[in-house]
Amino acid sequence: MPKIKIADRVLLALAGLFEHGNIDWQSIVQESVEEYEDFKQRYATLVANGLLRVRVGFLYQFTDAGYLMYSDRIKVLRVLGTS
């Protein structure tokens, strides 16, 4: 399964929650209608593929599989900083 682009800031936030036991959820806010449409399709695919859990339509958590899939990118972001 190919990786779906997740914004760096969102990856880091989801990773932090996952690493602390997923005791909370991450809200993801879009800045425009265009961004929302793109977001809706990508994140629905991530949820359908079992990489994210969703609650109330806009709160997200990584699943084990999702964290594993993006762990290399997360490590790089932490070393080099976000783009």
Report the range of poorest mean pLDDT among 6-20, 26-40, 55-69. 26-40
Please say if the pLDDT value at position 71 is more than 80: yes
Specify the pTM. 0.83
Residue 35: its pLDDT value, please? 75
The pair of structure tokens assigned to 29 is: 């806010």
The b/e string for 51-83 (b: 16+ C-beta within 10 A; e otherwise) is bbeeeeeeebbbbeebbebbeebbeebeeeeee
Class of the CATH-defined domain 8-80: mainly alpha
Per-residue pLDDT band at 69 (split at 50, 70, 90): very high
Q: What angle do CA 6, 59, 28 make, to 5 degrees?
A: 45
Per-residue pLDDT, 29: 76
